[in-house]
Amino acid sequence: MKATVTVELKSGVLDPQGKAIQHSLEALGFAGVEDVRVGKVFRITLKEGIASRAELEARVSQMSEKLLANMIVENYAVKIED
C-alpha cells in the first residue's frame, strides 16, 4: 500500500518562500497570481498485510506528527492508496 502525506503551512503563517515565488512569477509576466503557498508531499510505501487500512492511516498520522510536520505551524493530510 502507499500513503501520501501533504504538509502545508497553517493559514495565517507567513510563507516567505511562497511570496518569493509569487513575485518571480509576476516578474516573468504571469499576471493575476494572487497568492502562492509552498508545501511538501511525502509518498510512503508500506508493506502489505501488516495492518488494516485504519491502522495504517493512524500509523502514518503518527509519523506525520512526530517527524514530517511541525504541528505548531503546519497542517497535514493523509491519503492511503491501494
Instruction: Decide if pLDDT at 63 tops 90.
Output: yes
pLDDT confidence of residue 33: 97
Q: Where are the beta strands (DSSP E) in the chain?
A: 2-9, 39-45, 74-81
pTM for this predicted structure: 0.87
* pLDDT, tens only, 5-53: 999 999 999 999 999 999 999 999 999 999 999 999 999 999 888 788 8
Pick the CATH number of 2-81 from 3.40.50.1220, 3.30.1280.10, 3.40.1050.10, 3.40.50.1860: 3.30.1280.10
- The alpha carbon of residue 39 and the mean position of all alpha carbons in its chain are separated, in whole angstroms, by 5
Backbone angles phi, psi at 67, to 5 degrees: -135, -45
Per-domain residue ranges of the chain: 2-81
